């Protein structure tokens, strides 16, 4: 038995094996509850409290690309196009849309909608939003590159807006359903400085943000003028920022929170055995890797990157640490993504092959690799320790550095200061490989400090130049084969998320894509 596996077996020896993931968002346990205490949150009233691990510290939609933003701000902001909990595209602030030609997209807007400050939603607000996103201010942020196909937005009349594109964009509609394209109120944004809007967001969503204490809590209250009749059902939603999973679980057990996001596998049995709690699993488009920085010595050698992929038994990690709540991936995308290549098998576990490649690359035994991971992710810490055991078997050592997640994502990775390898989690929010591939592999992107390849650039441009989905699929198959060979990351798994919810909640469904939808949620 492998060295790390022996250690993990000891850690998990007191745990029951979890059921295989269903990926369908249904209760994961039918076991009889062993903890039958009275529900401590039963008298809270028509409000809920949700425990999350972090918050983005900036609520301006053009400034963020963080899932932590979308978890909360999806209830505050809305876009022209929406994606429901089943990942289906549907009307949002636009009632309908039509392609007049390949480069002209016209929207008919919903009438009678207003922003939380009373400002009217109309075509002027749409034009302002995209002028801002694509202008000098937006170009400083991570959302800009997703929408560069938009040349201009024309106000046809008060409730008709036409998007003129500079090139065909085959994934524009699904991107408009993303959180970067939500509509903001022109007058409000212009009347306040940037710092004010960063901390006091205003949208058209079902809830208003009425309180914000950085790194502590976010308070949302019912929008009484919401355009969907009868919604939202809750009066108030509070998000408590609780970085440590053990603390979130304790708060859930004592009734101080109603929903726990990011339940760790080791906590699942505790949740399942508590009478007033439900464990819910949901398949996601999110994938995880230890990404290589080719700007660092050793990582600039493809043979070394391939060797590390051969050195690690990903399936054992999924089985033993995640208890089956995950799936292997061959490239950095989930099976939900358009562009995923079903014919590519993940790198097999082959430590002898890894040793051969390292020898060919001239890597000395005992070479140390610096690895950066977020300190508040207990699951991934165990995974990284398992990877370290595997790499030690082929002669490499890992120096694991735990840092604050915001620091890792916003400072270290973009500036090429996250070591030889770093944890990269990616939501694949468009469900199209374009988003992931372009932002991960296109030279100069915020989260791509050093990877570059001429053929990759050529293929990325080619798939964006056509709206023919079959042609795009062919291009993606070639791109995935190339990326598989270049091995820019150690691809680990597609995630299955675990949530815990108090049984007093009704109609709560965890999102596939982290964008929590709460307007239909009620309490018993």
Residues 367-415 pLDDT 10s: 999 999 999 888 899 999 999 999 999 999 999 999 999 899 989 999 9
Calculate the dihedral angle through the C-alpha atoms of 323, 409, 63, 175, rounding to the nearest 10 degrees.
-40
User: Could you tell me the end-to-end alpha-carbon distance of the chain, in angstroms, rounded to an integer?
Assistant: 49
- Report the pLDDT value the prediction gives residue 519, as an integer from 0 to 100: 98
Domains of the chain with bracketed CATH:
33-76+205-276+503-524 (3.40.190.10), 80-185 (3.90.76.10), 284-495 (3.10.105.10)
Compute CA distances 426 → 141, 215, 334, 516, whole Å. 17, 22, 10, 17
Q: How long, in residues, is the chain?
A: 524
107 contacts: CB under 8 Å, gap ≥ 6 = 80, 94, 96, 97, 126, 160, 161, 162, 163
> Which one, of 347, 305, 304, lies nearest residue 329 by Cα?
347
Question: Do residues 227 and 112 touch, judged by C-beta distance below 8 A?
Answer: yes
Question: Do residues 262 and 51 touch, judged by C-beta distance below 8 A?
Answer: no
Question: Do residues 218 and 211 touch, judged by C-beta distance below 8 A?
Answer: yes
- Report the pLDDT value the prediction gives residue 468, as an integer from 0 to 100: 83
- Report the pLDDT value the prediction gives residue 16, as an integer from 0 to 100: 32
- Report the pLDDT value the prediction gives residue 30, as an integer from 0 to 100: 44
User: Which residue numbers in the chain have pLDDT < 70?
Assistant: 1-32
Going by their DSSP bridges, the two strands 217-222 and 236-241 should be labelled as antiparallel
pTM exceeding 0.85: no
Spatial distance between the Cα atoms of 394 and 349, rounded to a whole number of angstroms: 12
Which of left, alpha, beta for 491 (phi over 0: left; psi -120 to 50: alpha)? beta
């Amino acid at each position: 038995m492998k060295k790390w596996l022996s250690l993990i077996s000891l850690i998990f020896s007191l745990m029951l094996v979890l059921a295989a993931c269903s990926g369908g968002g249904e209760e994961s346990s039918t076991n009889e509850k062993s903890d039958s205490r009275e529900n401590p949150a039963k008298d809270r009233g028509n409000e809920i409290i949700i425990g999350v691990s972090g918050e983005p510290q900036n609520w301006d939609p053009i400034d963020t690309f963080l899932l932590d933003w979308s978890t909360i701000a999806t209830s505050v902001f809305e876009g022209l196009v929406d994606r429901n909990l089943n990942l289906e595209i549907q009307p949002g602030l636009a009632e309908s849309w039509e392609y007049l030609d390949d480069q002209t997209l016209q929207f008919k807007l919903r009438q009678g909608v207003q922003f939380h400050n009373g400002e009217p939603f109309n075509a002027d607000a749409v034009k302002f939003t995209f002028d801002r996103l694509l202008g000098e201010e937006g170009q400083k942020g991570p959302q800009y590159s997703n929408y560069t196909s938009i040349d201009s937005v024309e106000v046809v009349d008060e409730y008709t807006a036409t998007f003129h594109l500079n090139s065909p964009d085959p994934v524009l509609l699904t991107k408009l359903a993303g959180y970067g394209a939500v509509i903001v109120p022109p007058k409000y944004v212009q009347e306040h400085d940037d710092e004010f809007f960063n901390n006091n967001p205003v949208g058209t969503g079902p809830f208003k943000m009425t309180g914000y204490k950085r790194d502590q809590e976010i308070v949302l209250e019912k929008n009484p003028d919401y355009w969907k009749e009868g919604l939202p059902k809750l009066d108030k939603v509070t998000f408590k920022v609780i970085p440590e999973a053990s603390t979130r679980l304790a708060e859930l057990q004592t009734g101080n929170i109603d929903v726990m996001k990011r339940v760790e596998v080791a906590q699942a049995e505790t949740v399942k055995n508590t009478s007033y709690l439900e464990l819910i699993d949901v398949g996601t488009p999110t994938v995880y890797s230890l990404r290589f920085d080719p700007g660092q010595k050793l990582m600039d050698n493809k043979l070394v990157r391939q060797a590390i992929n051969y050195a690690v038994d990903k399936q054992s990690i999924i089985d033993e640490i995640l208890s089956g709540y995950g799936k292997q991936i061959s490239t950095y995308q989930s099976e939900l993504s358009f562009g995923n290549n079903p014919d590519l098998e993940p790198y097999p576990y082959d430590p002898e092959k890894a040793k051969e490649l390292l020898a060919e690359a001239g890597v000395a035994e005992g070479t140390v690799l610096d690895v950066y991971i977020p300190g508040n992710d207990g699951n991934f810490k165990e995974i990284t320790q398992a990877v370290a055991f595997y790499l030690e078997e082929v002669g490499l050592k890992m120096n694991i550095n735990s840092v604050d997640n915001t620091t890792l994502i916003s400072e270290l990775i973009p500036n090429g200061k996250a070591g030889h390898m770093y944890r990269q989690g990616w939501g694949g929010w468009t469900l199209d490989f374009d988003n992931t591939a372009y932002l991960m592999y296109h030279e100069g992107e915020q989260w791509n400090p050093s990877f570059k390849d001429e053929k990759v650039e050529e293929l990325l441009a080619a798939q964006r130049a056509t709206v023919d989905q079959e042609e795009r699929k062919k291009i993606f198959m070639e791109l995935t084969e190339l990326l598989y060979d270049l091995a820019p990351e150690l691809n680990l798994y597609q995630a299955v998320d675990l949530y815990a919810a108090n049984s007093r909640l009704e109609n709560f469904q965890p999102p596939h894509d982290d964008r929590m939808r709460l307007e239909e949620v009620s309490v018993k």
